[in-house]
Amino acid sequence: VFFNSTVVAIALIAYGIIMILIENRNNKPKVKDFSQLTYKLAIGIGLFQCLALIPGTSRSGSTIIGATLLGASRFVAAEFSFFLAIPTMLGASALKLLKVGFSFTGFEWLVLGTGSVVAFVVSILAIKFLMDYIKKHDFKVFGYYRIVLGIIVLLYFQFLA
């Protein structure tokens, strides 16, 4: 019931609007450097990550929105979001390995290891690109993207599927 195309589309659109509204505020960030993050702020940002349980939201989008609402600069928000992903992704991967079991053949371990290394390298390159982008631009483009995608999802599943 909770995971359906309408919920996904509404969440995409809502988060897109929120991203644009946050960017349109003229608030000066209180936290301009990663070293200024406090435990209280970090926990607050982490709690925003829970919003990613709603289908159509994203973990990074939730934490970036939360961090900027709590006073972090765009760059610090994105940087912290990526650091916050590390334990989340490692935990999800470990859980999946536990569910599947460790009864892999040697070749399957090789494929898993190779895939992990390639995914790590590509993610580092993508993060570098995004962090360089954020230094010069705001998050509005991501907000517009989410709105357009949400409308496409809504139209497709309401009228074409």
Q: What is the pLDDT of residues 43-96, one digit of tens each?
A: 999 999 999 999 999 999 999 999 999 999 999 999 999 998 888 888 988 888
**CA atoms lying within 13 Å on the CB side of residue 23:** 18
Q: How far is CA 118 from CA 83, 107, 142, in A?
A: 19, 16, 26
Q: Which of 129, 72, 119 is nearest to 93 (CA)?
A: 119
- What are the pLDDT digits (tens) for 101-143? 777 888 988 998 999 999 999 999 999 999 999 999 999 999 9
Give this prediction's pTM.
0.84
Largest CA-CA distance found in the chain, in angstroms, rounded? 56
Tokens representing 7 are 């919920």
